[in-house]
Each structure stands twice: as C-alpha cells, then as structure tokens.
Structure 1
Amino acid sequence: MKRRHLLGATAAGLAATAWPAFLREAFGDGAACDETGKPAAAAGSLVQVSAAFRRARQAKRALLVFVIPADDGAKWERGHAFGELLNFGADRDIAPLAGVEVVCATMADLKKLVPSAGDGEPLLVVVRTDKVPVAATQLDVALPIYDGMHGLGGGSWEERMKRDDAIAAKRIGALGALLRKGLGAGADDLEARAASVRARLVKAPPAGARWAIASGCGTEVEGVDETGLMACGMGHVPSKSRRFLYFFAVEGRGAPPR
C-alpha cells in the first residue's frame, strides 16, 4: 500500500482532506478509510503509532518511541532492558518520561508516519510533535550484556546474583542517562514525576506492548489467561529482567498490539 507523506509541508497550507487515512486518524479528523476503503484500524500496528502521535500532539508533548527491533532475539533482549528501566530505575532515571507520550513501535511503522525518524534500529526515537516538518531524534547507547542470560557461568549462586545486579545497574544507568540527555534532566518535582511514570507505565504497559514474566522455563503474559509460552533458550533470567516488555503477538488469545 502506497501512502504520501505530507508532514513536511507547511501546516497552514495543508488540507486535511488530502491527508492519508492514517494521518487523518492521527490528527483526530474523524474515522477515516484508507485507499482500499477499509477502516483505518485495519492498518494494524501503525494505528498504535498514529494514536500515540495524536495524544502527544493534543497534550503538547513529545512522542517517545521504544523501538521494537525486527529480529526476534533482539526483541527479547530489548524488552528485558526496557523492563529493567521501568521496574527498577531510580527516580532520576525514569522522571524524564513524565513529560512525554510513550509508545512501542517498529522503525518501519514509525517511518510511515515520521519519515525523518532515520535509519537503523536505535533504542529510542524522540518525535517533536509541535514542529513542521516533524523533527525526530534518535537516542542510542550500547548496553552491557549479561554473562548469565543464556548460561549461568562460574561462581556460587550468590556471586552470580551479585554479578547480575551489577550489570542491571549499569544497563539501567545507561538508559536513564540516555533519557536525561534526550528529554532533559529536570530536578524539580523528581519524586512526583517518577511516581506518575510508575503509575502510567509500570502498572500498565506502554502502548504497543504487554508486560510479561519470564521464569527461565516459560513466559507468562500479564492479562492473558494460560499463555504458557515457552521461552526457548532463555534459561537463567536475571532477577531484574524477569518482568519485561513483551513485543510478540499472543496467537489466538487476543494478540496484543505491537
């Protein structure tokens, strides 16, 4: 399906009736149909991005995209990293998220709405919804890798747990620093802003993902009965990685949006 990208045009000269269906939906111009005549909701995960863009624009906020990689193995790794940040990040690490709309999406879907999002699969993309053309900034950093994600390694159980916790702290710290760099540190009302993030993104998942629990011998998706999903090759799961963002569809059980 071919769509025209009109975000680069001057806002004043842009006629809403000429926008593609997903942009009419994103900017709140009523239910729209795509070029095939089907409702815009049939566009799949793109609707998640456009809906989040609309919420961000209406609230005069930036949109922060947690990028879902195409590779399935990378999905697991990145979902665990984001889970560590949201569940165990200190106030200063997660407080920057209080001022943005958050969505999980693939770069392929994001670039249909924001062509300027760039290439590759960075960890995060910040989209400034108040600018025309829309401005996008990639945020990326190399995260430390667990020694024991696919094998326990040497040492006693206590030593392995300490090693896992030390790596988790480095991963969370790197992501927190990345958010402060891209969104601003802002020391005011730190505790209150962090509490609002936990209420919004920890109790319930960001749009485009589900929370799940990995035990090392299986995965349970929160809110989905009897998933019993096997996490092949996961083995040992570090304690701070066990609750993670799940980026996969749950077949036949009300698949979560990606």
Structure 2
Amino acid sequence: MKRRHLLGATAAGLAATAWPAFIRDAFGDGAACDEKGTPAAASGSLVQVSAAFRRARQANRALLVFVIPADDSAKWERGHAFGELLNFGADGDLAPLAGVEVVCATMADLKKLVPGAGSGEPLLVVVGTDKVPVAATQLDVALPSYDGMRRMAAGGREEQLKHDERIAAQRIGALGALLRKGLGADARDVEARAASVRARLVKAPPAGAHWAIASGCGIDVEGAKDSGLMACGMGHVPSKSRRFLYFFSVDGRGASTR
C-alpha cells in the first residue's frame, strides 16, 4: 500500500511539472517559472485570470468567465448586456452566480490557462477547478438587439422606451436562463444568494472589467480619475444599458483599448 501510494504521489508530481505554467501557479504550486527557473512573465489580464482561478480553487468553486470579445464594437455590445443582467436581473437570474468565482477575460488569455476552453467567443465559459485536465464548458445564446435608431425614427420616443424595456427584459431573461442551465437552478435561499451577488459584483465590478456609465454623449468610468470619455453622437442609450461593464484598460489620463 505504501509503495503504491508513493508511486501515485510521484506520478502526480511528474504530471504537475508538465502542466502549463499558469496552471501550476493557479493550483498553488508556487510562482510559475520558465525552464530556467525564472518567473514567467504574463500580461495583466492573464494574471487576472490566473488569480481568479486560484481564488475559485481555494473556495472549492468553479470559475465563470465573462468572455470579452476581441472586436471593440462587440465589447460595447456585450458589456451592456452583462450590465443589464447584473444591475436589473431578478433574484432567480442572479442567484446561480453566488456559487462561482467570476472574472472577465478574452478567450485568447483564457486559453493560455485552459487550452481546452474551446473555439469562438461564447458569452460565458465555466471552468472546473477540482481536477486536471481542467474541464471547460461554453455557455452561449443569441441576444436580441435594440436596433435603436431605426425604432426611434419610426415610432417616436414613447415607442422607443417601450421597445427598450421589452428588449432589455428579453436579454436579461436569456442570460438568466443560460446561467440556470449552466450553473444549476437551486431553489434554496434564492433571495439571499442574489443579494450576495449584488454585493459582490454590482457594487464593485467583476475582476477584469470596470463599471461605467453611458449617457449617450459621453462615458464615465467609475473609480477612474479623469476618465470621462466624450463620445457625442453615440445617440440613444437604453435606460437599463446605461451602467455597463467597460472592457478596456483605464489609466489616470483616461482609457485605452486592452
């Protein structure tokens, strides 16, 4: 028995040395190093994913990745959709998030840590943290678009507002259903779990993103000094989309793309 245990431990140790550097780091095996023993360099966003993976593993949770698209225009669209969910989702929509660690990351960075994360740019990826190889499951759904300018021209402001509310409800409902499908729909303590999500992800943003406010003629990134971005001509912003997840880096002088 002892010999078999020793062989098993040795095999596990050898397997661990073959893991990607950031898997070793995230699993708590010390700072990731290259073949010469030098600490491996990484981008800031990759470090965010690695740190979130480590937190999830230590808490015995899965990691849920809000996927940041590579295309800048798609970043805006997806950031608004996630903002609608977190700020206005019902208890049943948000409660599944209570059991996971959440981080925002590009698929390119996620795949450096989890090569099996899959292709494309799904809305969400669930990453297991309890075993190696790491298991990842993509969650995706088509979200309806506001199509705001044409609606405004066709029906006026009152029609626009009704349309916005209807589309926002559909988008939030689709994302909530996606979370329940992918993370489970436990009916226990839904209100309390949703409250914990709001305290953790609405008051402050998920790791890898910023909260920002869009007025239709400018953007203010919360918590960033001198981060007001003028963008007059953006036009109409649906009311439930105004506070959104901003997927760009921010410094003291303003903002720049990732």
Q: For 1:36 and 1:70, how far apart are their aligned partners in 2? A: 33
**1:65-214 residue pairs with structure 2 within 5 A?**
65-148=65-148, 152-214=152-214
Q: For 2:233 and 2:111, how far apart are their aligned partners in 1? A: 32
Other-structure match for 2:6: none
Q: 2:245 is aligned with what amino acid?
A: L
Which has the higher mean CA deviation after the structures are superposed, 40-49 or 145-154?
145-154
Residues 209 and 257, structure 1, Cα contact 8 Å, conserved in 2: no
| Structure 2 counterpart SS, 1:244 | strand
Q: For 1:88 and 1:240, how far apart are their aligned partners in 2? A: 7
Residues 33 and 40, structure 2, Cα contact 8 Å, conserved in 1: yes
Q: Mark the CA change 1:248 to 1:34 in structure 2 (over 3 Å): closer, same or farther.
A: farther
Please give the root-mean-square deviation of Cα atoms over the aligned residues, in Å.
2.5
Residues 62 and 126, structure 1, Cα contact 8 Å, conserved in 2: yes
| Structure 1 counterpart SS, 2:186 | coil
Q: 2:207 is aligned with what amino acid?
A: A
Other-structure match for 1:28: 28
Q: For 1:182 and 1:208, how far apart are their aligned partners in 2? A: 21
Q: CA deviation at 1:39?
A: 4.7
Q: Mark the CA change 1:233 to 1:257 in structure 2 (over 3 Å): closer, same or farther.
A: closer
For normalisation by structure 2, the TM-score amounts to 0.88
Q: 1:50 is aligned with what amino acid?
A: S
Residues 22 and 34, structure 1, Cα contact 8 Å, conserved in 2: no
After superposition, the C-alpha distances for 1:110-161 in whole angstroms (9 at most, x for unaligned) are 0111111100000000011113211111000000000216873322322211
| Structure 2 counterpart SS, 1:152 | helix
| Structure 2 counterpart SS, 1:47 | helix
Q: CA deviation at 1:16?
A: 4.8
| Residues matched between the structures, number | 249
Q: 1:221 is aligned with what amino acid?
A: V
Identify, as 1 or 2, the structure richer in helix: 2
Q: For 2:233 and 2:106, how far apart are their aligned partners in 1? A: 24
| Structure 2 counterpart SS, 1:67 | strand
Q: Mark the CA change 1:41 to 1:89 in structure 2 (over 3 Å): closer, same or farther.
A: farther
Question: Is the radius of gyration larger for structure 1 or structure 2?
Answer: 2
Q: For 2:168 and 2:88, how far apart are their aligned partners in 1? A: 9
Which structure 1 residue ranges, 5 or more long, are not aligned? 1-9
| Structure 1 counterpart SS, 2:103 | strand
After superposition, the C-alpha distances for 1:57-110 in whole angstroms (9 at most, x for unaligned) are 111111100000000000000000000000000000010000000000000010
Q: For 1:13 and 1:39, how far apart are their aligned partners in 2? A: 20
For normalisation by structure 1, the TM-score amounts to 0.88
Q: CA deviation at 1:20?
A: 4.5
Other-structure match for 2:55: 55
Q: 2:62 is aligned with what amino acid?
A: A
Q: For 2:156 and 2:237, how far apart are their aligned partners in 1? A: 16
Residues 224 and 252, structure 2, Cα contact 8 Å, conserved in 1: no
Q: For 1:149 and 1:41, how far apart are their aligned partners in 2? A: 45
Q: For 1:209 and 1:150, how far apart are their aligned partners in 2? A: 30
| Structure 2 counterpart SS, 1:65 | strand
Residues 48 and 257, structure 1, Cα contact 8 Å, conserved in 2: no
Which structure 2 residue ranges, 5 or more long, are not aligned? 1-9
